[in-house]
Amino acid sequence: MADNTRLATLADLRTEIDALDDQILSLLNRRAGLARQVGELKQQTGDAQFWRPEREAAVLQRLMSANQGPLTDEAVGRLFREVMSACLALEKPVTVAYLGPEGTFTQLAARKHFGQAANLQPVSSIGEVFRQVQASQADFGVVPVENSTEGSVNLTLDHLLEFPLRIAGEVQLRIVHNLVSRGTAIKDMQRLYVHYQTRAQCRRWLAEHAPHLTLIEVSSNAEAARRARDEEGAGAISTTVAAEIYGLEILAAGIEDDSENTTRFLVIGQQDVAPMGRDKTSLVLSAPNRPGSLQELIQPIAAAGISMTRIESRPARHGLWQYVFFLDLEGHAETPELQPVLAELEKKATYFKLLGSYPQAVF
């Protein structure tokens, strides 16, 4: 123990830290041993679901609520996410396909949700993420679904409709955009590579600071960085991680118009997720094509006191002016509150598809 009657020296404090680290190490390994036993038990009982998002969310939520500081709740969340990621790797390593290349926000979201021990696989399109998960080439996939400034990622919605997969989780990520180049100042640039969603999120900044640049749209923020590395007179808007990967300089940081700019990502898989108490349910439905029918169709949701956190329409792709509606509801499909409401929606809708129930993002 450091002596409180005098100011502790650096050496004293470090000795104390070393002693605590020994204890933490021993506890972590005891925990890992138990997780390994859990893995063996699952194997013996033929339970193929090693990754348990509902359990991980419950563990994080409990510890973050119990946290007394000085660590922030988010720091506690991140640390324990890594602990569980390493423990899960002892049971069975998971493979996660994400919208690449390396350095995209989707990669950051996948890491935030699955931790460092997961095996992340970059793929070239949102459709390819869905295909790999369906073909069991990846256990799970991570795709962007909506941005707080720009709205829905329509391709993801269309694939959710098309593929027989389940949503197994959501990840929220603060999106920070940077203007990067291999050293070229903004005034000396001619071209700027930018992803179309990013362009929309930085519209005001671009109009003010870079009106002379020709904007060239590319398929991802990381691809933008790659092009800026390879071409003279070019710049890009990109993530800090991609700037690092491609050896670029950050000329202006945080250029997004909205300082709260956040993207929501979905985890897709083949498994149903059990309830944990703070869940969300996503579904798609169609209403008969007559006035007031949607309002009538979704009326049981409000009547049951269930909160609808999102409604988004997309063309149904068959029939002129026919729409499907994507709904997010609070609660889990297997609970007595939601079950009868979903049954009623399914009965009345001209089309109904449950996309999955999953834990709400914890941090």
Query: Which C-beta is closer to ligand PRE: that of 88 or that of 202?
Result: 88
Per-residue interface string for the shown chain with ligand PRE, residues 2-41, x marking contact by CB under 6 A: ---------------------------------x--x---
Q: How far is the CB of 279 from ligand PRE (least distance, A)?
A: 16
Q: How far is the CB of 100 from ligand PRE (least distance, A)?
A: 24
Query: Which C-beta is closer to ligand PRE: that of 54 or that of 328?
Result: 54
Residues 268-287, interacting with ligand PRE (CB under 6 A): none
Pick the closest to residue 268 from 116, 106, 70, 117 (CA basis).
106
Residues 68-97, interacting with ligand PRE (CB under 6 A): 84, 87-88, 91
Pick the closest to residue 246 from 228, 234, 231, 233 (CA basis).
228
User: Which residue has the closest beta carbon to ligand PRE?
Assistant: 87
Residues 176-215, interacting with ligand PRE (CB under 6 A): none
**Beta-carbon contacts of residue 287 (< 8 Å; ≥ 6 apart):** 293, 294, 296, 297, 325, 349, 350
Contact 62, 77 (CB under 8 A): no
Q: Is 118 in the site for ligand PRE (CB under 6 A)?
A: no
Handedness of CA 62, 68, 73, 75 (dihedral sign): negative
Interacting span for ligand PRE (CB under 6 A) from 47-55, 70-78, 244-252, 321-329? 47-55
Q: How far is the CB of 91 from ligand PRE (least distance, A)?
A: 6
Rounded alpha-carbon distances, angstroms, from residue 164 to 45, 53, 94, 125, 330? 26, 20, 20, 18, 22
Parallel, antiparallel or unpaired: strands 234-238 and 323-330: unpaired
354: enclosing H helix or E strand: strand 351-359
Contact 127, 155 (CB under 8 A): yes
Query: Which C-beta is closer to ligand PRE: that of 37 or that of 124?
Result: 37
Query: Which C-beta is closer to ligand PRE: that of 38 or that of 225?
Result: 38
Backbone phi, psi, residue 125, to 5°: -150, 165
Q: Say what angle helices 73-91 and 10-44 make with each other, to 10 degrees.
A: 40
The full length of the chain comes to 363
Q: How far is the CB of 36 from ligand PRE (least distance, A)?
A: 9
Pick the closest to residue 330 from 338, 340, 341 (CA basis).
338
Count the residues of the shown chain that bind ligand PRE, applying the rule CB under 6 A. Answer: 11
Q: Is 56 in the site for ligand PRE (CB under 6 A)?
A: yes
CA distance 59 to 300: 33
- 3-state SS class at 361: coil
Single residue of 55, 92, 191, 209 touching ligand PRE by CB under 6 A: 55
CA distance 74 to 82: 12
Single residue of 9, 44, 59, 338 touching ligand PRE by CB under 6 A: 59
Q: How far is the CB of 183 from ligand PRE (least distance, A)?
A: 44
Q: How far is the CB of 259 from ligand PRE (least distance, A)?
A: 33
CA distance 361 to 363: 6
Query: Which C-beta is closer to ligand PRE: that of 87 or that of 362?
Result: 87
Query: Which C-beta is closer to ligand PRE: that of 84 or that of 255?
Result: 84
CA distance 286 to 173: 30
**Beta-carbon contacts of residue 321 (< 8 Å; ≥ 6 apart):** 289
Q: Is 139 in the site for ligand PRE (CB under 6 A)?
A: no
Query: Which C-beta is closer to ligand PRE: that of 95 or that of 125?
Result: 95
Q: How far is the CB of 49 from ligand PRE (least distance, A)?
A: 8
Task: List interacting residues with ligand PRE (CB under 6 A).
Answer: 35, 38, 51-52, 55-56, 59, 84, 87-88, 91
